[in-house]
Amino acid sequence: MIYGEYEYKVENNIKLSQEHLESLSLMYQPLIGASALGLYLLFNNGLIHTNYSKLALLVNVNIEEIERNLILLERYRLIRTFKHKEEHHFIHQILAPILPSAFLNHYVYGLKLKQAIGDYHYNVLVIKYREVVLEKKDYVDISETKAFNSNSFDAADLNSMLQTKAIDIELSTQFDFGLFLSDASELKFPSILRTKENLKLISELALLYGISELRMATLVYRSIDYNKKELVTEKLYERVRREKVEFEHTQNKYDLPTIAFLQSLQNGAHVTDYNKQLLEKLALEMMLETQVINRLIEYVMETQNNRLVHNFVLQIASTWKAYDVKNVDDANKVIQNIDYSQKRNFMPEQQKETIKREASREEKYTDEEKDAISERWKKLGERYGSSNN
């Protein structure tokens, strides 16, 4: 709770573009309201230091309304709020809004916007902001591929680029990039391909599938088109999916690579490409933490007769994303507060049929196999602790 005499400062390094403003007015405003949007724009336009009483007078609302608006802005990742450890001083850090196209494709925001404004107005926005892709099957790519001399980059250049704060891409600390690059000569892995985007994808796939750094390096080299100086991500995905899952037991079973975790739930049975693509979506597109994904698929398998029903998985994942679930404890709290079994009883018939079709695509197990899976999971629980530990 905040009080009028509490002071705050605003940290703002954001320059709003025309697209940002369109996203705020057309997409954020229906969800957060005009009052919260007005507060965000006020912060963005230079109101950097005062107390909440003065702010309330300025925007003509009470303190409770200001606090409600701050919570909405935090929920939609438009600001972050920091409180001094000892004093009643706050810092509100301004974050950039998602651009329209990304907003409409966001798993949570896009769905909530559609619910708020209705199908018609949502589709109008989709048409307005959809990407224009021209058919190129009868064309040949003649783009210049030797735009830069990659030999001009050395290790110092690369390290400087990766460490710069101007590039807002976080690389995983669980993946040893030093080991991964230890044998990466300029011929094997040209410096021009060592972008943060590529390294992020490589590390996330390695952690998802439980692939070692050195083995991942081999798969990356085999996926490079050296003539075009391009990492062909489709080939990398294919090679990663073909890898045999090997893993060591950890103190916390939820820290296992997600593919290995699902395989353990299936009593060692091979994970289908169909399910691998689902887990890739959760990790790479929805950006859920490994522990969160593992608890999610465990919960679905427990409640859906050992089936990984895709639509149900995505339904829960969207909820957890909205609740900003970061670990197993967060996930368990949401599970306790939301009865998904009841929610499924009120699903539209069309969605129920979709889930049935999804379920039919999963591997079929005999009663003996199901018993074996349950027994396997019981042993894992006894060894590493249950989901309640």
Could you state, in order of their start, the residue ranges of all structural domains in the chain?
7-112, 152-242, 253-384
pLDDT tens by residue, 159-200: 555 454 444 455 666 788 888 988 888 888 988 898 888 898
pTM, rounded to two decimals: 0.47
Least Cα distance to 11 among 52, 44, 56, 53 occurs for 44
The fold of the 7-112 domain, in CATH, is Arc Repressor Mutant, subunit A (1.10.10)
80 SS3 class: strand
Per-residue pLDDT of the chain (389 residues; tens, 9 = 90+): 788 788 889 988 888 999 999 999 999 999 999 999 999 998 888 766 688 888 888 888 898 998 999 999 998 989 999 988 888 889 999 999 999 988 988 878 888 899 999 999 999 998 888 777 778 888 887 765 554 444 454 545 555 554 544 444 556 667 888 889 888 888 889 888 988 888 989 998 988 888 889 999 999 999 999 988 899 999 999 999 988 766 666 557 888 888 888 988 888 788 888 999 999 989 888 888 899 999 999 999 998 888 888 888 888 888 888 778 889 998 998 888 776 554 443 344 444 454 455 445 444 555 655 565 555 555 545 444 444 44
Pull the structure tokens for residue 342.
Answer: 């009841």
For residue 255, what are the contacts with CB-CB under 8 A and spacing of at least 6?
Answer: 290, 291
3-state secondary structure of 188: coil
Rounded to an integer, what distance in angstroms lies between the CA atom of residue 328 and that of residue 358? Answer: 26
Answer for the pair 387, 297: CB distance below 8 angstroms, yes or no: no
Supply the pLDDT for residue 102. Answer: 86
> What pLDDT is recorded for position 172?
63
Tokens matching residue 372: 């074996």
pLDDT (tens digit, 9 = 90+) per residue, 286-316?
888 899 999 999 999 998 888 888 888 888 8
The residues near 30 (Cβ < 8 Å, ≥ 6 apart) are 113, 116, 117
pLDDT of residue 348: 41
